[in-house]
Structure 1
Amino acid sequence: MQPVPEVGDLVRDTATGRVGFYVDTVSGRFLIRPVNGGCAWEAEPVDVQLATPMRELRARAAEINARSRRSLGG
């Protein structure tokens, strides 16, 4: 069994290919928030793995860029 990610860890849902930030565990499923915001989704823990360092860097940069665009009104 793989360890539970920590809140804020970037993870990849291998069932869907989506990447997001781990938020919580609800009823035995992981709750993951999309990198660019939006509605969180649930994933089976066996389908979730920590993202690679390069994927994490790209995702965090995308999140910062999205926040910047929102604060600029765009």
Structure 2
Amino acid sequence: MPEAGDLVRDTATGRVGFYVDSVAGRFLIRPVRGGRAWAAEPADVQLATPLRELRARAAEINARSRRSLGM
């Protein structure tokens, strides 16, 4: 089971995001670049690879930087 903040991949959709919590037997995952979280079946969720995690964290930092610059 992932911990809050772990980068995960939803194999059913191919999407990558940060694990938030478990609600009603489903995992809530927040998109890397922000936005609305989605629910995924636990069987479809796996921890992301180190390379995928590095790319996602860089994307999150870049998105945060663009927001602070008003872009």
Residue 15 (str. 1) matches residue 12 (str. 2)? yes
List gaps (5 residues or longer) in structure 2.
Answer: none
| 1:1-74 superposed matches below 5 A | 4-74=1-71
Normalised TM-score (structure 1): 0.96
List gaps (5 residues or longer) in structure 1.
Answer: none
- Alignment identity in percent? 86
Normalised TM-score (structure 2): 1.00
